[in-house]
Amino acid sequence: MKGLILSGGKGTRLRPLTFTRAKQLIPIANKPNLFYGVDDLVAAGITDIGVIISPETGDEVRAALSDGARWNARITYILQSAPRGLAHAVQTARDFLGDDSFVMYLGDNILSGGIAHLVEEYRQGSAEGIILLTPVPNPQQFGVAVLDAAGQVVKLIEKPKDPPSNLALVGIYLLPARVHEVIATLQPSWRGEYEITDAIQGLIDRGCRVAAHTVRGWWKDTGKPEDLLEANRLVLSQLARDIKGELEESEILGDVVVEPGAKLVRSTVRGPAHIAAGAVIRDSYVGPYTAVGRDVVVEGSEVEYSILMDGVEIRALPYRLDASILGQGVEVNGSGAHRKHTIQLVLGDRSQVCL
């Protein structure tokens, strides 16, 4: 069984963060989002992995994943010239996939609990395809599944205007090689894309048994800034306390990771939070659900429920920084006046703001 991770697209909903980086490489709890999908595949015993890349961000994805040796995996890169839909991505990977069944994993998804149980069920041969579902309040924005009384999939509809259920497809699919026959017959949808929901529907129409499972724990599609922050919160909530950095007149409360080489001076960190190597927090407060990247400086400021990417510098803010995402190398400076309010920022790489 092979793995296929989709890491293309332009990430327009995450701009300005994605003007200078692949959306799948935005860090969640100080680890690129894409790495969680690789972790899940390898943990399930799948080490032959194809990664769909785009012309815009492909080089960055290659540099991040390299050849897969850090996972004891083999990674093959597959260029999708334009984002023509998920089924088109599978078609683009046809030579890599060959006649093997495969797990397709969207690179901007993040899931608790992994997929090993799904892969094991698939290998036992009880179904020719497996999809993962979760109830959502806005099913019209997703592919939606209709199940029969026995819980089997009978129909899939992509972004229906009048949803027949609230069960949305999560971006993880276990599919047989037979799906390539279906994809070869597909026509573009009303969105102008070749939909994976149409491909799976084609399998069902041909008599294939497609099983459905509901997500264990939680799942996030990190397509918008608020989704990134929520995913960051969910991952950080699973941390175990691990203090290896240097503390000077500082207080750590709760489950906090402070990596070796990080330094806290006259500061308080309230977990869950993750402080990466090289970060310096001085005369500051870092609140729950905050990820502080490598070589970040937080001085005379307060921040919580935020993602600070590598090299960010925050100094003397007059407001508490809350629910914010700061790209690599961002600088935010303030007057150091008394804090009465909070401020929320989403800034792309190397932005500069003075307050």
The model's pLDDT over 109-144, given as tens digits with 9 standing for 90+, comes to 899 889 999 999 999 987 899 999 999 898 998 889
Rounded average pLDDT over 284-292? 97
Q: What is the pLDDT of residue 297?
A: 97
Output 64 or 20, whichever has higher pLDDT: 64
User: What is the rounded average pLDDT of the residues 92-117?
Assistant: 94
- What are the structure tokens assigned to 61, written together? 């994805």
Burial classification of residue 92, based on how many CB atoms lie within 10 Å of its CB (0-12 exposed, 13-18 middle, 19 or more buried): buried
pLDDT at 187 over 90: yes
pLDDT band at 337 (very low <50, low <70, confident <90, very high): low
Q: What is the distance between the alpha carbons of residues 157 and 322, in angstroms, rounded to a whole number?
A: 38
pLDDT at 303 over 80: yes
pLDDT for res 126: 79
Q: Which residue has the higher pLDDT, 125 or 228?
A: 228
Question: Which pair of tokens denotes residue 86?
Answer: 């998920």
Report the Cα 107 to chain-centroid distance in Å. 6
pLDDT, residue 339, reads 59
Q: Return the DSSP state at 12.
A: G
170 pLDDT higher than 80: yes
- Report whether pLDDT(15) > 80: no
> Among the listed ranges 78-92, 114-128, 137-151, 295-309, which one has the minimum average pLDDT value?
137-151
Higher pLDDT, 89 or 223: 89
Q: Which long-range contacts (CB under 8 A, 24 or more apart) does 329-338 make?
A: 334/301, 336/300
As a dihedral over the C-alpha atoms of residue 25, residue 218, residue 171, residue 113, rounded to 10 degrees, the angle is 80
What was the pLDDT predicted at 159? 86
Beta-carbon contacts of residue 77 (< 8 Å; ≥ 6 apart):
50, 51, 53, 58, 61, 62
Return all residues near 35 (Cβ < 8 A) that are at least 6 apart: 64
pLDDT at 314 over 80: yes
Express each pLDDT in 53-65 by its tens digit.
999 889 999 999 9
Q: 289 CB contacts (<8 Å, ≥6 apart)?
A: 229, 232, 233, 236, 237, 272, 273, 304, 305, 306
Beta 109-111 vs 219-221: how paired, if at all?
Answer: antiparallel
Domains present along the chain, CATH in parentheses: 2-224 (3.90.550.10), 239-354 (2.160.10.10)
**Predicted local confidence at residue 74, as pLDDT:** 97
Least confident of 209-223, 235-249, 300-314: 209-223
What is the mean pLDDT of the segment spanning 183-201?
Answer: 90
Contacts 24+ apart (CB under 8 A), 140-149: 142/168, 142/169, 143/168, 143/169, 143/195, 143/196, 143/197, 144/168, 144/169, 145/169, 145/212, 147/212
Average pLDDT across the chain, whole number? 91
pLDDT for 17: 73
